[in-house]
Structure 1
Amino acid sequence: MKVGRRLAILLAVVLAASLTLIGGRATPAAHASAKAAKLTIWVDNVQKPAVDKIASAWGTRRGVDVNVTFHAFGSIRDDLKTVKTENAPDVIVAAHDWTGDLAANGLVAPLFPTKAIKKQFPAYALNAFSYGGKLYGAPYALENVGLVVNTRLVKVPTTFAQFEKEALAFKHKSADNIALAVPQGSGGDAYHMYPFFSGLGGFVFGSGKNGALNPNKIGVANKTFLKNAPLIDKWNREGLINSKVDYGTGKNAWLKQKAAFWITGPWETDALKASGIPFRIIQLPKIKFRSVPFLGVQGMMVTKFAAAHGVASLAKDLVANEMMKPSFQLDLEQANLRYPANIVAGKRVSDPVLKQFGKAGIGGVPMPNIPQMGSVWAELGGAWVKATKGPGATPARVAFATAARNIAAKIAGG
């Protein structure tokens, strides 16, 4: 009996020890499974408060530890190419014209928002972040120039002829006056000049059958534009547009009421409000075609590193669903002073200046997001400089035809 009792006690001790070992091994695994996933977002200081707010709330609901980190906007694209995996972000704030570069290098992942969410965005906002038929970014803000009119000095024009007449009449009132404060300077400015370019039938790249931009279809000197190009020579002769006006000169002229018309964007909202000048913002009136501006679109992208960190599905949920909602876009609108990309959010904008800039951008053309656009800016801006420099200007047809040839050569040369 004593032997049997001892054996029973021994077995009980062994069993207890075994259970303790098993329990000890299970405990770290249990802790590991309960440990929150970590997700890192790179944003600049403008977007950080709004991103912090929504990402933190989302993280709490999903059990994710979200780290919203300040990173200088101008460095994000280049730093993403060199950062080590362990220090890399899972989500970044981005400009739409980075899309082609980042997607071609496999640095960002495609997104798949629901149909209901996609319906809340204009096609051009989604196209801005698309490459190779896939969506790579969630657009949250639109940026474009408009024609700012000093309503104390001139009437708000409804036609281009009226705009031209008002601008020149004001210019002739004083030798110090400028007909139109549109920035160019010696380096040119294809971005601010784009409404005139589109209004004459110009475009940068055509599209293929799948809607993707084709860098071999260069529209800088297409037949329609060249047919209308003599109007540029006329504007140069009469002094409507002069490439000697740079950004600082144009801005100061408008603020000092030496120019009644100014082409600028929402980044000047504070200056406009502080000026004390009554103004309206409109889209440049139609020339031969609708004079639409270039659009800059800001958004959020999921990087390839999210997969390496094991949070790809979480990152895509945050970006493609949560950050495309009207509430998030309105929070960013207030911090960013940019018109929301989400249509529902856009209808709720209360700031009158942003509403006017938003309306001025309707129908705008997203700046091409393919790498070949890098070959365009200097040539297209330079053509405008040469054709509008006053006496001795290059005929517009010659200036833009030369620019088109140079662009094609640069693209062909890689």
Structure 2
Amino acid sequence: MRRRTLGITAVSAAALGAAAACGSDDGGSDNETTEEFSGELVIWADETRTPVLKEFVKDFESTVGVKVTVEEHVETLREDFLTAAEQGQGPDIVVGAHDWSGQFAADGVIAPITLSADQQAALSEAAVKAFTVDGNLYGVAYALENLGLIRNTDLAPEAPATFEELIAAGQAAATDEVLTMEVGVDGNAYSAYPLFSSFGGYLFKDDGTGTLDPTDVGVDSPGGIAAFEKFAELGAAGVLKTTIDATNTIPFFVDGKTAFMISGPWALTDVQGAGLNYEVTAIPGFEGQGPASPFLGVQGFYVSQTAANAVFAQEFVTNYVLTEDLQLKLAEAGGRLPALTAAAEAFSEGNADVQGFAAAGENAVPMPNIPAMNAVWEPFGRAQADAVDGVSTGEAAATTAAQAIRDAVAG
């Protein structure tokens, strides 16, 4: 039987596996050919996901008969991919956050992905929306994550219903800090967003369909200004501090220096290692205001526009990534809620931590994936830090940040 390289035809994983494994015509015509892939599929991922994926791709290799190489990129994965893709190089697949999709799509470095109606229905609606840009799907989601409130139940037995109750309980615990939440000298828009959103603040106006208008900036909207004024108030009261940053938010909580911490699933390894009694619940909104809505982060797989092996890349992301078994294994390794609804339900059962973060994410909004979001982080963070430190009033901080964002978006 003659062998040749697979042509540009999308086929199922089962069919590919059968083709690769076929070694005889077994009653077929001598003119039949077996389609066999020659080459390898290259995936780039960060230092957290690379070890996990190296184990998981073995199933794909054995089923489809394709060698898969997973390469680790520390800290600069996004930049490395952009640089390589713009030169027509790089991997077939890159694993990353959904908020990269806007820039990637605008730069033309990723390919659209087609999922069937059933495949889309099997995923969290938010997960599909997160990877959608201008009506096109550019990534296949495997995990969801958001911030929540982690509480030391020995120091604060009851979950607070409002942020005011949190402050009161934190003060009553008589610890060094009322709360640890990343702020830092440069501020932190990601951590601040749940509190910002409780007052009705928004970054870019949503038209109701999930499409964001980069020209409609809401940082200095009435709700945005009210939120920054609250940042200033909380800073003056010592509840928020620019001395609390990524280096000490978790350690202070683990060391019992605070009863409350706003953080994500990544914090639980240290919390559990310390043997603390704790509970994960929703971040409470402010009294008389809306719920605290954290950003929803979605992790997924992109296919490079210049993928050398595009057929197998599409096969991997559309069929292999969307299996309950793989999503559960990734969830177990990373502690994030699977994007597949069936896998999420199975993973959540009997898991109080996952249920807690899921409850905290009920009002979560996908982090904006439009390129204009790149203009938000620095001015928003700087304004938050200035408000917390009392360098400027809340209104002045919000106004300054909003104008800086508008100027950057306008180019």
TM over 0.5, shorter chain: yes
Could you tell me the percent identity over the aligned residues?
31
Q: Does 1:300 align with 2:308?
A: no
What is the letter of the counterpart of residue 371 of structure 2?
Answer: P
Structure 1 distance, partners of 2:66, 2:186, is 46
Match of 1:116 among 112, 115, 118: 118
Match of 1:335 among 333, 336, 356: 333
Change (3 A) 1:55 1:200: same
Q: Show the counterpart of 1:324.
A: 322
Q: Show the counterpart of 2:206.
A: 207
Structure 2 distance, partners of 1:233, 1:101, is 33
Change (3 A) 1:119 1:388: same
Q: Show the counterpart of 2:405.
A: 407
Change (3 A) 1:295 1:35: closer
User: Per-residue deviation at 1:152?
Assistant: 0.6
Structure 1 distance, partners of 2:47, 2:382, is 34
Q: Show the counterpart of 1:11.
A: none
Change (3 A) 1:290 1:210: closer
Matches for 1:8-407 after TM superposition, within 5 Å:
33-34=35-36, 36=38, 38-48=40-50, 50-62=52-64, 64-83=65-84, 88-154=90-156, 155-170=158-173, 173=174, 177-208=176-207, 211-227=210-226, 229-287=228-286, 288-306=289-307, 309=308, 311-349=309-347, 351-389=351-389, 392-407=390-405
Q: Helix, strand or coil for the counterpart of 1:388?
A: helix
Structure 1 distance, partners of 2:88, 2:231, is 54
User: Per-residue deviation at 1:226?
Assistant: 2.7
Higher fraction of helix: 1
CA contact (8 A) 1:184 1:246 kept: yes
Q: Helix, strand or coil for the counterpart of 1:220?
A: coil
Structure 1 distance, partners of 2:304, 2:396, is 44
Q: Helix, strand or coil for the counterpart of 2:230?
A: helix
Structure 1 distance, partners of 2:184, 2:54, is 40
CA contact (8 A) 1:40 1:89 kept: yes
Structure 2 distance, partners of 1:346, 1:140, is 10
Change (3 A) 1:215 1:56: same
Question: How many pairs does the alignment contain?
Answer: 375
What is the letter of the counterpart of residue 410 of structure 1?
Answer: A
Structure 2 distance, partners of 1:250, 1:76, is 25
Runs of 4+ in structure 1 deviating by more than 6 angstroms, as ranges, are: 29-32
CA contact (8 A) 1:147 1:282 kept: yes
**Structure 1: where are the runs of 5+ without partners?**
1-28
CA contact (8 A) 2:183 2:385 kept: yes
Structure 1 distance, partners of 2:164, 2:94, is 45
User: Structure 1, residues 351-397: CA drift from partner, whole Å, max 9, x if none?
Assistant: 443342233222212222222212111111112111112xx442212
User: Per-residue deviation at 1:332?
Assistant: 0.7
User: Structure 1, residues 254-285: CA drift from partner, whole Å, max 9, x if none?
Assistant: 22212111111111221010112211111111
What is the letter of the counterpart of residue 297 of structure 1?
Answer: V
Structure 2 distance, partners of 1:301, 1:209, is 26
Larger Rg computed on CA atoms: 1
Structure 2 distance, partners of 1:165, 1:331, is 40
Change (3 A) 1:394 1:46: closer
CA RMSD, Structure 1 to Structure 2 (Å): 2.6
CA contact (8 A) 1:181 1:261 kept: yes
Structure 1 distance, partners of 2:375, 2:124, is 28
User: Structure 1, residues 49-105: CA drift from partner, whole Å, max 9, x if none?
Assistant: 55345544334444x413222221533333333438896321121211211121111
**Structure 2: where are the runs of 5+ without partners?**
1-30
CA contact (8 A) 2:294 2:364 kept: yes
What is the letter of the counterpart of residue 225 of structure 1?
Answer: G
Structure 2 distance, partners of 1:244, 1:51, is 36
What is the letter of the counterpart of residue 123 of structure 2?
Answer: F
Change (3 A) 1:407 1:87: closer
CA contact (8 A) 1:167 1:240 kept: no
What is the letter of the counterpart of residue 404 of structure 2?
Answer: N
User: Per-residue deviation at 1:323?
Assistant: 0.5
TM-score, normalising length: structure 2: 0.83
Change (3 A) 1:166 1:280: same
